[in-house]
Amino acid sequence: MQSKPLATIVAPSLLSCDFGNLGAEAKRVLDAGADWLHVDVMDGHFVDNLTLGPVVFQGLRRAVGQQVFLDCHFMTTAPVFWIEQFARVNGDNQGPAPNLGCTFHYEVFGEDGLRMALALCERVRALRARPAVALRPSTPVEAVLPLVDAAAVDMVLIMTVEPGHGGQSFMPECLPKVRFLRERYPLLDIQADGGIGLTTADAAAQAGCNVLVSGSAVFGAGPDAGRVIAGLREALHRAHDHSV
């Protein structure tokens, strides 16, 4: 017996927006129906790209206000350090639930990975944020099961492209990981990120994702962003409305 329905969430990735107008772009997709904003934090080491640090993130938070959930995906070799910095500038959240998501990559931790990941999740909760773990396409899904079983994370992000850049092609070969997780965890938030648009959303949603990140499909649609967001949400509803 399920105790709550699975949330269906569409999270535009700001990586594909016009960074010169970051606050306005963020507000534009929120007005167009986005549930969360996906913030790609890249350090030039874990991936060969560099995006924003705490200063720009603070500006984004001020632009959108404290109510909006900022789903930060830390593609960084030092997530412990950067998560502290981002949480520090996130501002005073008076709301009943966290307004900050902190997704780190399991791959950054070496031999003692599980212990370090558990400690980071505990710290994220102490910061009143929501911990999640991400996997590159080549990382086996089994790596994160102890974190889910321990309820250390609220979400698993299955990358459906190699992390680093927007506008890449969706990798359907990553979906067996989603199916495996959904069969095991009916109520876990499972996020897909990379190459998600109106032609690929059904595959990700049917495999079991209930959170879709989409960058170029949403921002590339210009004034039609709302139509794309609505289409992504419909794919989620088609897959999940009758499954819980």
Residue 65 burial (C-beta neighbours within 10 Å; 0-12, 13-18, 19+): exposed
Phi, psi angles (nearest 5°) of residue 145: -60, -40
Q: Is 71 a catalytic residue?
A: no
Alpha-carbon Rg of the chain, whole angstroms? Answer: 16
Q: Compute the least distance from the CB of residue 94 to ligand 5SP, in Å.
A: 29
Measured from the CB atom, the residue of 67 and 169 that comes closer to ligand 5SP is: 169
Measured from the CB atom, the residue of 91 and 226 that comes closer to ligand 5SP is: 226
Out of 71, 154, 189, 193, the active site residue is 193
Out of 18, 31, 40, 189, the active site residue is 40
Q: Is 224 a catalytic residue?
A: no
Cα(205)–Cα(232) distance, integer angstroms: 9
Cα(33)–Cα(96) distance, integer angstroms: 22
Cα(128)–Cα(10) distance, integer angstroms: 22
Measured from the CB atom, the residue of 66 and 234 that comes closer to ligand 5SP is: 234
Q: Compute the least distance from the CB of residue 96 to ligand 5SP, in Å.
A: 28
130: β partners: 101
Q: Which residues of the chain form contacts with ligand 5SP (CB under 6 A)?
A: 13, 15-16, 38, 40, 73, 161, 163-168, 193-196, 213-217
Task: List residues with catalytic annotation.
Answer: 40, 193
